[in-house]
Amino acid sequence: MTRGGWSALGLAAALTACGPVVIDHAPTSNLLDAETASLETGSGVWTAWFAVTIARAPTAAREGDAGLRVEVTEPYGWGVATDNWPGFAASPGAHRASFWARATSGRSLVAEMKVKWRDASGRELRVEALSSPVLTGQWVRTERELTAPAGTERVSVEVTGAEGTPGDIIELDSLVVQAQGSL
Ligand SMILES: [Ca+2]
């Protein structure tokens, strides 16, 4: 069939559909929305959880044009989190999480991503964590295989550090939690 034929067919299908168009996500797509993952067009659902101010910043880009700049404002630990209770849609099964990070500090800053699997009501079923190596000014990618337990319908993400003093900067980009194919 010609390209034009397919277009006409697609239009006819769209016109006869009753509900909103449902787009199936590829099995490897990111559970986090595009802005939260990439910071390219906005700050997504990131919130300054404790001891930080956050901003979408071109200087914090590992990929694309922007990343998440996290400035520590108090000593003894810091944290950012996704703020879209009860979280992004998710399903049980094998996943892979990853993120890029770097830091502008002489201290031993480590960024830990916590992935919280929740049921439909938002109840926490399992928390899995992946910790970066000690961060430097060079970007480093941290990755881990995860398993969402039975009953998982939602996922939320935190990135925290146990160290930090005011003025420390941590930059994050390309944060991913993706399903590893359908089971
Ligand atoms: Ca980016």
Q: Tell me the CA–centroid distance for residue 119 and ligand 1, in Å.
A: 29
Residue 169 in contact with residue 68, Cβ under 8 Å? no
Site of tokens 């929740």:
118
**What is the model's pLDDT at position 182?**
52
Predicted TM-score (pTM) of the model is 0.83
The rounded Å distance from CA 69 to ligand 1 centre is 11
User: Could you tell me which of 91, 98, 49, 94 has the C-alpha nearest to residue 74?
Assistant: 49
d(CA 44, CA 33): 7
Q: For the stretch 47-59, what's the b/e string if a residue is b when 16 or more beta carbons lie within 10 angstroms of its beta carbon? A: ebbebbebbbbee
How far, in Å, CA of 44 to CA of 120, rounded?
22
CA 172 / ligand 1 centre spacing (Å): 8
In the sheet where 169-179 sits, what is the strand order? 52-57, 67-72, 169-179, 93-104, 140-148
Q: Per-residue pLDDT tens for 69-97?
A: 999 999 999 999 999 999 999 999 999 99
Q: How far is the CA of 76 from the centre of ligand 1 (A)?
A: 28
Distance 54 CA to ligand 1 centre (A): 15
Contact 95, 180 (CB under 8 A): yes
CATH class in words for 26-179: mainly beta
What is the structure's pLDDT at 1?
Answer: 43
Whole-number Å distance, alpha carbon 50 to ligand 1 midpoint, is 23
Q: Ligand 1 centre and the CA of 58: distance in Å?
A: 8
Ligand 1 centre from 151 Cα, in Å? 32
**pLDDT by residue (tens digit) across 114-137?**
999 999 999 999 999 999 999 999
Give the distance (Å) from ligand 1 centre to CA of residue 40: 5
- Extract the residue ranges of the chain whose pLDDT is less than 70: 1-28, 106, 182-183
The SS3 call for residue 35 is: helix
| Residue spans of beta strands (DSSP E) within 13-153 | 46-50, 52-57, 67-72, 78-82, 88-89, 93-104, 112-118, 124-131, 140-148
